[in-house]
Amino acid sequence: MCGIAGVLQRSGAPVPPERLAGMADCLRHRGPDAQGLWTDDARGPGNWSVGLAHRRLSIIDLAGGAQPMANESGSICLVLNGEIYNYVELRAALLARGVRFRTESDTEVLLRQYEIEGIDCLKRLRGMFAFAIWDAGRQRLFLARDRAGKKPLWWAEQGNRLLFASELQGLLADPDWDRSIDRTALDRYLVYGYIPSPASIFERVRKIPPAHAMTVDRNGTRLFRYWQAPMGPKWTFSETEGVERFRTLFEEAVRIRLRSDVPLGAFLSGGLDSASVVAVMARLSSRPVRTFTIGFEESDYSEAAAARITARRWGTEHREFLVRPNAAEILPDLIRHYGEPYADSSALPTYYVARETRQHVTVALCGDGGDELLGGYPRYWGGAVSVRLDRLPVACKRWAGRLAGRLERRQIQTAVVHPLHRLGRFLRAFSDQADLPERYLRWVGFFMPEELAGLYDPAGWGAPGEAAPQDFLFDLIRTSDAESVEEKLMQTDFRSYLPEDLLVKVDIASMAHGLEVRSPFLDQELVAFTNRCPSHWKIRGGQTKRLLRRAMGEALPEAIRRRPKMGFGIPLGQWLRGELREWMRGILLDPSARRRRWFRIETVERLIREHTEGIRDHRYRLWNLTMLELWASTVLEETPAGAAVSR
């Protein structure tokens, strides 16, 4: 696991080593073990020059895996962030073809595979990665990102220069870069709490989307998708056989993620996914698995007690850490790592569990992807139910709206997002005359698109951007080729919420401490198989993750196997009414926020008052605005061109 960066100059002017070193230094946390720089000045008239930078977190072949790594002639050089899990098998196949190796690293396997197959090497890679390959003979820069989107890759182009980096701050190291804000991206942030790729908060900066690659050569810049998670046709064998096949693939996905030359462990929540990963790890390991859990003083949110059940079942070396409201003190530093606004409040506990885990191991496995792959969120079942209920008379929908209001009012003062709250949101969306995409947005969104005009200050930002922010989500749902409503929503989350929110959260929070996190549920073979399983194997009669529950069987304690979905959140509503109330007010109503005039102060004051007085629950909206203001006062104002704003 590493940090990568680079510069391509079409003018042929040499890439200044100090520029590369500055970019690499911004990524030091991702690779604390070593730094490498490599430049290829223009070879002949009209040729391009390239510089590559690498910060290394040593995991595989500690002595021989240094990067950037070039072939013998120096005509091909690469930098890799991540792991190629099937490098052992690929290496054996290449050796059989007579290919010679200088190291035992997965990086050299990628280099040799590219030498033989070019960009088609992507088809053979099983892993999490973001990499850049400079091919001097073809005068081509080749950038690629893994299928699920575990590893990030940012890029920007201005004039004759193209820059790329693992994190946005690697690009912001360049003081000359245009930092004009992308209005559509800002609108989408307010709606979703994240900015979907390929856009970023800045107009001139882009992100390579998951399962995409990009070539930059004499023919121009070409971004293309190289993989699509298959959805069908569905398997025709029995569900029992499907459970056995799933178990085999899942165990294989865990096994190849145990390849490491450094100590590893696992994140363990009280949920089914991480418990399943730990159970398989324990069966495959010769020594006790090291497990790590975050808890809260507020028992309604803490999963520590449930995690202990799994830890005792498998005799793990278990450690727990407590998160308190003063965790907000680390937010400015965390926001600098994200580089752009990001409003998932579970970034806080993720940051802390990663920090504490890194004190003991260098690699941790986790359960990310299990919900999106196996139907773990209640909203998937709720979406299907809402479609069936569409046949009810309008009077029933009006009654549902009135009931939703009563349920929401009863839940306002509680710390946890109670099932009554979820039922209220479901009924609220169902009572509206809306189709499935509109309902789903109401379930997962922060601000609704129609609310943005009343949020923006007309004397500052003015009206929202021209592009409709909801189109991102609507297009994913409406173009889905899934057979059932549940699968449409699962596929949508796999392409949006998972890579753009959850995987970003884990990558940034873990790599801030130089910790590598691996996700067996996102193995491409497991994904390809599970997507072809009928939806009723995953969700039936309101029971979620049926396939996983059956596959794990007695490997999990009954209390964990039967435990409902809880989610990995913080007591946000309670904290914003209590310990963090004045902290939040100080940020949102600060004189700098008023001078910026992005939002109507009266609207912000109303949201604060209604939440703190228990009139309405605005926990997620207020957190969204708070994270945006923190970003503006740190990242935006700290950069030389921070005042640049695109209207």
pLDDT at 564 over 80: no
Per CATH, is 239-328+342-375+497-561 categorized as 3.40.50.1970?
no
**Helices (DSSP H) in 26-77: which residue ranges?**
none
Q: What is the pLDDT of residue 433?
A: 59
**What is the set of active-site residues?**
2
Span 303-307, mean pLDDT?
Answer: 85
**Helices (DSSP H) in 533-616: which residue ranges?**
535-538, 546-552, 558-561, 572-577, 581-588, 591-596, 601-612
**Tokens 């949110």 -> residue:** 301
pLDDT tens for each residue of 348-382: 889 989 999 999 999 999 999 999 999 999 889 88
Q: Are 86 and 256 in contact (CB under 8 A)?
A: yes
Q: Is the overall model pTM greater than 0.85, yes or no? A: yes
pLDDT at 343 over 90: yes
**Which residue(s) pair with 161 in the sheet?**
9, 158
Compare 578 and 276 and report the one with higher pLDDT: 276
**Which residue(s) pair with 4 in the sheet?**
54
Neighbours of 219 (CB within 10 A): 8
| Residue ranges, CATH 3.40.50.620, the chain | 239-328+342-375+497-561
Is the bond preceding 378 in cis, omega lying within 30 degrees of 0?
Answer: no
Q: Give the pairing type, strands 264-267 and 220-225.
A: unpaired
Q: 2 pLDDT band (50/70/90 cuts)?
A: confident
Q: 466 pLDDT band (50/70/90 cuts)?
A: confident
pLDDT at 294 over 90: no
pLDDT tens for each residue of 375-396: 999 889 888 877 777 666 656 6
Q: What is the pLDDT of residue 9?
A: 94
| Residue ranges, CATH 3.60.20.10, the chain | 2-225
Of the candidates 252, 201, 254, 225, which has an alpha carbon nearest to the alpha carbon of residue 146? 225
Query: In Å, what is the CA distance from 375 to each residue of 251, 419, 573?
Result: 19, 18, 27
pLDDT at 342 over 80: yes
Q: 415 pLDDT band (50/70/90 cuts)?
A: very low
**Least confident window among 35-49, 79-93, 304-318:** 35-49
Q: 416 pLDDT band (50/70/90 cuts)?
A: very low
**Least confident window among 68-82, 168-182, 185-199, 408-422:** 408-422
pLDDT tens for each residue of 124-167: 999 999 999 999 999 999 999 999 999 999 999 988 999 999 99
Query: In Å, what is the CA distance from 242 to each residue of 506, 525, 537?
Result: 30, 14, 9
Q: 301 pLDDT band (50/70/90 cuts)?
A: low
Helix axes 378-389, 485-495, angle to 10 degrees: 140
C-alpha span between 647 and 629 (Å, rounded): 18
Q: Are 478 and 627 in contact (CB under 8 A)?
A: no
Classify 22 as helix, strand or coil. helix
Nearest 5 degrees, angle CA 419-CA 422-CA 426?
140
Q: What is the pLDDT of residue 647?
A: 30
Q: What is the pLDDT of residue 136?
A: 94
Amino acid identity of residue 279, one-letter, is A
Q: 263 pLDDT band (50/70/90 cuts)?
A: confident
Q: Are 15 and 51 in contact (CB under 8 A)?
A: yes
Neighbours of 106 (CB within 10 A): 26
CATH architecture of structural domain 2-225: 4-Layer Sandwich (3.60)
Computed over every residue of the chain, the mean pLDDT equals 88
C-alpha span between 504 and 167 (Å, rounded): 10
pLDDT at 70 over 90: yes
Q: Are 439 and 428 in contact (CB under 8 A)?
A: no
Span 496-501, mean pLDDT?
Answer: 97
Q: What percent of the chain is modeled with pLDDT above 90?
A: 67
Q: 641 pLDDT band (50/70/90 cuts)?
A: very low
